[in-house]
Amino acid sequence: MAMGVGLGVGLAMASSFSDQRGSLLQKAMDWFSASQNSIPHLWASLSLASEKTITESRTGTSFLAVLYETQQLVGIGIRKKSIIGIKNINVYAFGIYADASDMKEALYEKYRPLSADELKENKDFYGDIMDSDISMTVRLEIVYGRLSIASVRSAFEETVGSRLQKFSGADNKELLQRFTTQFKDEYKLPRGTIIDLSRQHGHILQTKINGEVVGSVQSQLLCKSIFDLYIGEDPFDRDAKQEIGHGLASLLKN
């Protein structure tokens, strides 16, 4: 994302996941598949009273293990912006969620012969996830307190616009505008603001800000362009993509 102080979002990402975090995410998915009633000690940050979460330690951002009842957390990361090549600013933390049943229905037969380790390195696997009608969400939580909604619009115009061009060979200005105009000036983005970009069945991209639906656009191309930012060939955060890829592969194979 771009920042209100002139930070555009041709963002340089730097996020590393520890072996411990990968293990915790795997335990989260194993727990969900095995039982929704038990409360094992999965993570350092665990809400015993209600919903389980995993915390991104560098920003203190917590992500639910399960979103919208069926979508499971498969990976998290931080997006950073480099200022004049000197200082990196944490812009937002993100979590990627996917529905295991949808994954299996769409892709299990095709990728049954491959192991989870093989899948996370498989280019076609990521491409099929982006193309398929799988319920998924990118949850962004703002950690930079001076981010403006105008900066968000500009960021999406640049990053999503480039992906629309990449996949279609055209600028798709009308489609891009239908998406970016959802981010109206009336919305404020203080630290802690949550933005959900969810692909619903029928390739409908629904946008929520702090739980409020601000718009929906039906477009397979737009959905693919959004997820390409995170799991495509040139993702914002390559380390996070590896973690997400492992999580997605585990959902399919478990």
- The CATH number linked to 143 is 3.50.70.10
Grouping H, G, I as helix, E, B as strand and the rest as coil, residue 108 is: helix
pLDDT for position 45: 36
Computed on alpha carbons and rounded to an integer, the radius of gyration of the chain in Å comes to 17
Q: Is residue 143 within 8 Å of residue 1, measured between CB atoms?
A: no
pLDDT, tens digit, 9 for 90 and up, residues 50-107:
379 988 878 889 999 999 999 999 999 988 877 666 678 889 999 999 999 999 999 9
* CA dist list (Å): 46 to 30, 62, 119: 16, 10, 30
**Within a domain: 7:** no
**Within a domain: 13:** no
Mean pLDDT of 212-241: 96
Domains: count for the chain = 1
Look up the domain containing 184 and give its range. 19-253
Q: Is residue 111 within 8 Å of residue 117, measured between CB atoms?
A: no
Q: Is residue 131 within 8 Å of residue 85, measured between CB atoms?
A: no
13 pLDDT tier (thresholds 50, 70, 90): very low
**Within a domain: 1:** no
Higher pLDDT, 33 or 104: 104
**Within a domain: 134:** yes
φ, ψ dihedrals at 151, nearest 5°:
-65, -35
- Tokens found for residue 186: 């009336």
**Within a domain: 14:** no
φ, ψ dihedrals at 19, nearest 5°:
-60, -35
Residues 180 and 173: their CA atoms lie apart, in Å, by: 10
**Within a domain: 9:** no
**Within a domain: 5:** no
**Within a domain: 190:** yes
